[in-house]
Structure 1
Amino acid sequence: MAKDEKARARAQQIKGKIQKEAGRAVGSEKTAAKGRAKEAEGDARQAKEKIKDVFKH
């Protein structure tokens, strides 16, 4: 299950990065900000999974 969560976190990071860059490309700060937020949420989820891995071993 941890691999599923890690994959979801990574997918969220990628989606956020794409949205952020798309917003920058078209000049939409609102879209870029949403992308940054989504990317940061993915970063946090990935960090949580890494911490869980540390305590498992």
Structure 2
Amino acid sequence: MSGEQKAEAKGEQAKGKLKETAGRLTGNEQLTAEGRAEQATGDAREAKKSVKDIFKH
């Protein structure tokens, strides 16, 4: 996994966590759900790249 791709996945996870936290603090369920979805997208992207790296070597 390239450093740029890893940073992008981590950034997406962090952004999702911030949205989720903001949603919880304000009681906004939609924002909480969006945050969870962004975190899941970042997790999936990171996992996909890790699997690719395993088979590359």
TM-score for both structures, normalised by structure 1: 0.93
State the partner residue of 1:25. Answer: 25
Structure 1: which amino acid aligns with 2:24?
A: R
1:45 corresponds to which residue? 45
Q: Structure 2 stretches of 5 or more lacking a match?
A: none
Q: Which runs of 4+ in 1 moved over 4 A?
A: none
Paired residue total: 57
Question: What is aligned with 1:8?
Answer: 8
Q: CA RMSD in A?
A: 1.1
Q: Could you tell me the percent identity over the aligned residues?
A: 51
Q: Where does the alignment leave 5 or more consecutive residues of structure 1 unmatched? A: none
